[in-house]
Structure 1
Amino acid sequence: MGAYPDDTNLGTNYDAWVGEKASLTGEVVETDPLTIVAEYSAGERIRLRVTGTDLQPAPGDRLTVFGVVKPDRTLHVQTAYIVPSSGYTYMYTVSFIAGLWVLGRLVRTWRIDRQTWSLEPRSTPLRLSNVIRSQNAEDRDA
């Protein structure tokens, strides 16, 4: 049904899956031989040797692998791809910026009704220039 064993299945009972296809992602810890480590439970890790690929990941990269489980904690690759460690920095940076944009849109076009504590649309969108002007007016009045 497309549900292949993953790091949890292999970590808890590796020998039961020998000869089966599996899919998992792990961190590259060695490149000769290519070895990945995947965490399958809190503090529990499985270390696998990866064969059958020409990919050359660097230590610290994440390697996603689909292949056949072999004896001796070896996974023979049919398909694999590398996610460089810099890819996560990019992902988190873009996600943070997108989150700020969404928050800005929310604050600009919605307000909290203090009686019902619910969100209601603003009659006119809030503008940064209006906020600055009102803050300057409050400073002069003080």
Structure 2
Amino acid sequence: MGAYPSSTEMGTEYDAWVGEQASLAGTVVETDPVTITDEYRAGEHVTLQVVGADVDAQQGDRLAVFGVVEEDHTIRALNAYTVPPSNYLYMYAVSFVAGVWVLGRLVRTWRLDWASWSLEPRSTPLRLSNISVWSQETEEPDA
């Protein structure tokens, strides 16, 4: 049904999955042979040797593997791909920028009604010049 065992099932009852297909991901800790590890419970890791993976995995990469579970903590890969650590930095940076953009749009077009604690649309969108300290003209006192 497409419900493959994860690191949790592999870590707790490995022998029950021998001969079955599995889909999991882990951090590459060794490259010859390719070995991945993944935490399945606080402080507990499952370590698997990956055979048959035609990928250029470097230590520290995240390796996703779909394959058949074999004895001795080995998985015979039918498909595998790596995700370099730099991709995570890019993902977080793009997500941060998108979050700031959404927050800006929310503040610009909606306002909080304090009486009912609800969001209401603004009649006119807020502009940066409306809230900027630099745009407010200061009057000079008459001499």
Instruction: Give TM-score, length-normalised by structure 1.
Output: 0.93
1:45 equivalent to 2:50? Answer: no
Unpaired stretches in structure 1, ≥5 consecutive residues: none
Alpha-carbon distance between aligned partners in 2 of 1:124 and 1:43, rounded to the nearest angstrom: 53
Q: What letter matches 1:74 in structure 2?
A: T
One-letter amino acid matched to 1:75 = I
Instruction: Please tell me whether the aligned partners of residues 54 and 80 of structure 2 are also in contact (alpha carbons under 8 angstroms).
Output: no
Shift of 1:117: 1.6
Question: Where does the alignment leave 5 or more consecutive residues of structure 2 unmatched?
Answer: none
Deviation of residue 136 (structure 1)?
A: 2.6
> Any idea what SS the aligned residue of 2:136 has?
helix
* Residues 30-73 of structure 1: CA deviation (Å, up to 9, x unaligned): 00110000111111100100000121111111000000001110
CA distance in 1, matches of 2:134, 2:111: 17
Q: Secondary structure at the residue paired with 2:30?
A: strand
Post-superposition offset of 1:133: 5.9
Map of 1:18 onto structure 2:
18
Q: 1:56 to 1:134 in 2, by over 3 A?
A: closer
CA distance in 1, matches of 2:133, 2:107: 17
- 1:58 aligned onto 2:58: yes
Cα distance in 1 for partners of 2:88, 2:69 equals 28
Distance 1:91 1:140 in 2: 47
Alignment correspondent of 1:91: 91
> 3-state SS of the aligned residue for 1:104?
helix
Greater per-residue helix proportion: 1
Alpha carbon RMSD of aligned pairs, Å? Answer: 1.6
Displaced runs of 4+ in structure 1, greater than 6 A? none
Quote the residue 1:132 is aligned against.
132
The percent identity for this pair of structures is 62
What SS does the corresponding residue of 2:132 show, helix, strand or coil? helix
Does 2:52 align with 1:70?
no
**Partner secondary structure for residue 123 of structure 1:** coil
Distance 1:134 1:93 in 2: 29
Normalised by the size of structure 2, how large is the TM-score? 0.92
Distance 1:122 1:64 in 2: 47
Aligned partner of 1:122 in structure 2 is 122
Q: Give the drift of 1:135.
A: 6.5
- SS at 1:136 equivalent: coil
Q: Which residue of 1 aligns with 2:27?
A: 27
Amino acid at match of 2:70: K
Aligned mates of 2:139, 2:26 — CA distance in 1: 59
